Amino acid sequence: MAYALNEDQQDCLQELINVAMGQASDQLARYLDTFVFLTVPNIELVNGQGLSSSLESNTDSTAVVSQGFFGYEGIRGEALLVYKHKDSDRIGDLLGYEPGELSVEEQLIDISSILTTTFLNVFASQIENQMSYSAPKLLAHTQDTVDDYIKQISFDWDMALKVNINYQVTDYSFNCEMILLIPAAAIENIKTVIDRILEDY
């Protein structure tokens, strides 16, 4: 498959993500003054149909916040933060807001932006890059809305590199999932950057 990563590229990307997860979770834990547990991330290459199916499995009874990211050398994509409804009510406590200070929607956007930018800034620093971000958007809780939104973004989604990361905040029994989607054109750019890193070793 033309866009597939070879074993060395996959291992390198996995390590970059692991390091970014570790530093990001440490920063998040300090910010929230609690322990953040992270599971091993899942990295897979999916076609357009597979992307739609995988998003469908993640949007059942959830809130979804989407935020685009853009770096140098054509590194770009979309980050989705997926929340179960039962966790939405805990976000105010997690962020230390007073009751009624912000709506649940505003709280979701707030914590999503923290999670996305913290992780991706650490990831970018490892590859000597820098990220900029679009404004986060809260999507309606339906599969069609998420599908339509992704299709409207001006990327080629025939193929996508999909990275799943689960955050678990133990003190609050709070969980959310980050899904990074790297479109077809940017996969080649990611591979070029990874190959440069591998050559240095």
User: Is the per-residue pLDDT at 152 higher than 70?
Assistant: yes
Q: pTM of the prediction?
A: 0.85
- What is the pLDDT averaged over residues 54-82? 81
What's the pLDDT band for 78 if we cut at 50, 70, 90? very high
Distance in angstroms (rounded) separating the CA atoms of residues 77 and 110: 20
Give the β-pairing of 174-183 and 76-84. antiparallel
| Rounded percentage of the chain residues whose pLDDT exceeds 90 | 23
Task: Reduce the secondary structure of 135-173 to three states and give it as a string.
Answer: CCEEECCCHHHHHHHHHHCCCCCCEEEEEEEEEEEHHHC
Domain ranges of the chain: 7-200
pLDDT value at residue 143: 55
CA distance to 62, 118, 132, 163, 170, per residue, from 72 (Å): 32, 18, 9, 20, 35
- What is the pLDDT averaged over residues 56-60? 60
pLDDT value at residue 11: 92
Whether the Cβ atoms of residue 3 and residue 187 lie closer than 8 Å to each other: yes
| Rounded percentage of the chain residues whose pLDDT exceeds 70 | 79
Is pLDDT larger for residue 62 or for residue 25? 25
Which CATH number does 7-200 carry?
3.40.1550.10
pLDDT value at residue 134: 92
Q: At what angle do helices 104-126 and 7-32 cross, to 10 degrees?
A: 130
Mean pLDDT estimate for the chain = 80
pLDDT value at residue 91: 66
pLDDT value at residue 64: 85
pLDDT value at residue 149: 76
Is pLDDT larger for residue 145 or for residue 123? 123
User: Is the per-residue pLDDT at 76 higher than 90?
Assistant: yes
Name the burial class of residue 163, with classes exposed (0-12), middle (13-18) and buried (19+) by CB atoms within 10 angstroms of its CB.
buried
pLDDT value at residue 71: 92
- For 136, phi and psi rounded to 5 degrees? -65, 145
- What is the pLDDT averaged over residues 137-150? 71
pLDDT value at residue 97: 67
DSSP-derived 3-state class of residue 61: coil
